[in-house]
Amino acid sequence: MEVVYPCCCGLDVHKKSITACVLWAEAKGKSRKEKKRFGTFTHDLLQLADWLAQCGVTHVAMESTGVYWKPVWNVLAEQFEALLVNAQHIKAVPGRKTDQKDSEWIADLLQHGLLRGSFVPRGLQVNFATSRGIA
């Protein structure tokens, strides 16, 4: 399959943790991956954003289950092209049961352009830097 995004990240978001998998497309159709787990407090989300920037990530995808995606979205959507994806579109493949496998599966689907983001209403898109007094 054709690689659409050479450096992207899939996130598996839960109440207390986020598992991130960064994929880099390499020569001859191979890819390199690195996985990391983060907490969900603001300082953890900022560390996640810094790590993704250091990795050269351009696109990030996450599932839209529950409300746990909202703070993650508010931090990452300012810096990266973020996709909020319907969980039913991702979970269609059986055998992906762990957070690590889920994040890798999301990253793989994203890297090949197989995900379509959901509409995120304007009211949910908060300027994080301004709201925290950073900017």
Q: Are 101 and 18 in contact (CB under 8 A)?
A: no
**Residues 44-79 pLDDT 10s:** 999 999 999 999 999 999 987 789 999 999 999 989
CA torsion 112-113-118-122 (nearest 10°) is 110
Give the global pTM. 0.83
Q: Please, are residues 105 and 90 in contact by the beta-carbon 8 Å criterion?
A: yes
Distance CA 50, CA 56 (A): 10
State pLDDT tens for residues 95-107: 556 666 889 999 9
Spell out the residues 6+ positions from residue 35 whose beta carbon is closer than 8 angstroms to its own. 19, 20, 21, 22, 100, 103, 104
Spatial CB neighbours of 93, under 8 Å, sequence gap ≥ 6: 105
